[in-house]
């Protein structure tokens, strides 16, 4: 039986593995189907991770993390966890290959993935002018024009954020009303350089070998096509939380979640189930930054060590 089973090998899972192994737990295994590192390994430019004073790729940032964890005893198995159940004080993990493992505690650090909008060229230019993180990539468009696709709180909040550094922000939305808090809508409308482009469908993102050059939108009212000449497009149409492993046979989740499927935790990363923790983007109110996920992982590990006594 494991002391701790970690599901997910991104910054949260790796940091938890480091702290838990170094902190005295003897049997800690991280389950990650692919190479450890998480979504950030797909980023081409990272310059805001503390202590790193040079521009680097996400792969370069994460390349030493797995080796550091292994030095303190963290095991890594490249397999997919399909379900987690609990009976009395023991968790049972089932795997895609039919095997099972038991554990005294479990940390879910599977993260979430940005939902794609589905317009032409989105996949082709993702990471080359199309982004889902204004905090990560907004600086690269300082004093330039950008477009944001979406109409919820995240889209409007990021529009306000980008308006402070970009010369103009086109807020592209398929409706003329927003699914956001009134205070957020008010702040957005107060920014003079945010241009609302409403009642439109996104037709296609345009670009060349250097990246994005523009966005085509079609009016739902007139059918007219308009090109927004922007080098950057930010997509905020929701996220899909990777929580399938916590689904039970009756369709419920092992622990409490919100309506979006995000795991509800307290400040110690504890869920509603004793011994089950969640960290990183899979939890509620996650900042979706590498440094924050790493902080979650360390917080969870310290509290798991205390929980196991």
- First CA to last CA across the chain, in angstroms? 16
159 occurs within a structural domain = yes
Let me know whether 15 and 109 are in one domain. yes
Measuring CA to CA, how many Å separate 285 from each of 12, 156, 264, 280? 15, 17, 9, 9
Q: Long-range CB contacts (< 8 A, 24+ apart) of 247-256?
A: 247/83, 248/83, 248/85, 254/84, 254/85, 254/86
201 occurs within a structural domain = yes
pLDDT at 78: 96
Per-position b or e across 85-102, b if 16+ CB within 10 A of its CB: ebeeeebebbeeeeeebe
pLDDT in tens, 137-149: 999 999 999 999 9
Let me know whether 227 and 247 are in one domain. no
120 occurs within a structural domain = no
pLDDT at 45: 72
- The burial of 232, by beta-carbon neighbours within 10 Å (0-12 exposed, 13-18 middle, 19 or more buried), is given as buried
182: left (phi over 0), alpha (psi -120 to 50) or beta: alpha
**Tokens read off for 138:** 């907004």
Let me know whether 14 and 147 are in one domain. no
pLDDT in tens, 182-196: 999 999 999 999 999
Let me know whether 101 and 249 are in one domain. yes
Contact indicator for 292, 9 with CB cutoff of 8 Å: no
Q: For the chain, give the number of residues.
A: 309
121 occurs within a structural domain = no
Q: What is the gyration radius of the CA atoms in the chain, in angstroms?
A: 21
Let me know whether 110 and 243 are in one domain. yes
Q: Which of 219, 235, 251 finishes a domain?
A: 235
- What is the layout of strands, in order, in the sheet containing 145-149? 130-131, 232-235, 145-149, 168-172, 194-197
92 occurs within a structural domain = yes
Let me know whether 148 and 173 are in one domain. yes
Q: Which of 212, 235, 258 finishes a domain?
A: 235
pLDDT in tens, 29-50: 999 998 899 988 877 678 889 9
253 occurs within a structural domain = yes
As for how many domains the chain has, the answer is: 2
Let me know whether 16 and 110 are in one domain. yes
Strand-pairing partners, residue 309, are none
**Tokens read off for 309:** 């006594």
Single pTM value for the model: 0.78
Let me know whether 245 and 103 are in one domain. yes
Let me know whether 150 and 103 are in one domain. no
pLDDT in tens, 82-138: 999 999 999 999 999 999 999 999 999 999 988 899 999 999 999 999 999 888 899
Contact indicator for 29, 11 with CB cutoff of 8 Å: no
Catalytic residues: 133, 136-137
pLDDT at 44: 64
Which candidate, 67, 74, 64, 80, places its Cα nearest to that of 32? 80
Which candidate, 258, 280, 260, places its Cα nearest to that of 269? 280
Let me know whether 219 and 255 are in one domain. no
What's 66's DSSP letter?
H
Strand-pairing partners, residue 2, are 103
Mean pLDDT of all residues belonging to the chain = 95
148 occurs within a structural domain = yes
Let me know whether 193 and 274 are in one domain. no
CA distance 110 to 9: 7
Residue 179 has pLDDT above 70, yes or no: yes
**Tokens read off for 304:** 């798991």
CATH number for position 69 = 3.50.50.60
Provide the residue range defining the domain that includes 80: 4-114+239-308
Q: Which of 235, 267, 299 finishes a domain?
A: 235
Let me know whether 175 and 156 are in one domain. yes
Which candidate, 7, 183, 20, places its Cα nearest to that of 80? 7
119 occurs within a structural domain = no
pLDDT in tens, 49-85: 999 998 888 899 999 999 999 999 999 999 999 999 9
């Amino acid at each position: 039986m494991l002391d701790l089973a970690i599901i997910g090998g991104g910054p949260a899972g790796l940091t938890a593995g480091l702290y838990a192994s170094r902190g005295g737990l003897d049997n800690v295994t991280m389950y990650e189907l692919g190479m450890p590192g998480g979504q950030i390994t797909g980023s081409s430019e990272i310059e805001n991770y503390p202590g790193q004073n040079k521009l680097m790729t996400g792969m370069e940032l994460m390349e030493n993390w797995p080796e550091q964890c292994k030095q303190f005893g963290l095991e890594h198995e490249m397999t997919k966890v399909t379900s987690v159940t609990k009976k009395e004080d023991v968790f049972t993990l089932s795997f895609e290959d039919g095997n099972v493992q038991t554990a005294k505690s479990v940390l879910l650090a599977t993260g979430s993935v940005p939902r794609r909008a589905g317009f032409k060229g989105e996949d082709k230019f993702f990471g080359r002018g199309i982004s889902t993180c204004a905090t990560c990539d907004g600086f690269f468009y300082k004093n330039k024009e950008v477009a944001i696709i979406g109409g919820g709180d995240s889209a409007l909040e990021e529009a306000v954020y980008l308006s402070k550094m970009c010369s103009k922000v086109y807020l592209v939305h398929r409706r003329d009303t927003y699914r956001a808090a009134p205070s957020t809508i008010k702040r957005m409308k107060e920014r003079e350089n945010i241009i609302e482009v409403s009642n439109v469908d996104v037709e296609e993102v345009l670009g060349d070998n250097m990246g994005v050059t523009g966005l085509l939108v079609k009016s739902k009212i007139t059918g007219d096509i308009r090109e927004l000449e922007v080098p950057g497009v930010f997509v905020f149409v929701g996220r899909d939380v990777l929580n399938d492993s916590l689904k039970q046979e009756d369709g419920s989740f092992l622990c409490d979640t919100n309506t979006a499927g995000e795991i509800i935790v307290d400040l110690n990363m504890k869920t509603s189930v004793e011994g089950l923790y969640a960290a990183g983007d899979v939890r509620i109110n996650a900042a979706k930054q590498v440094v924050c996920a790493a902080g979650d992982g360390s917080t969870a590990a310290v509290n798991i060590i205390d929980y196991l006594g």
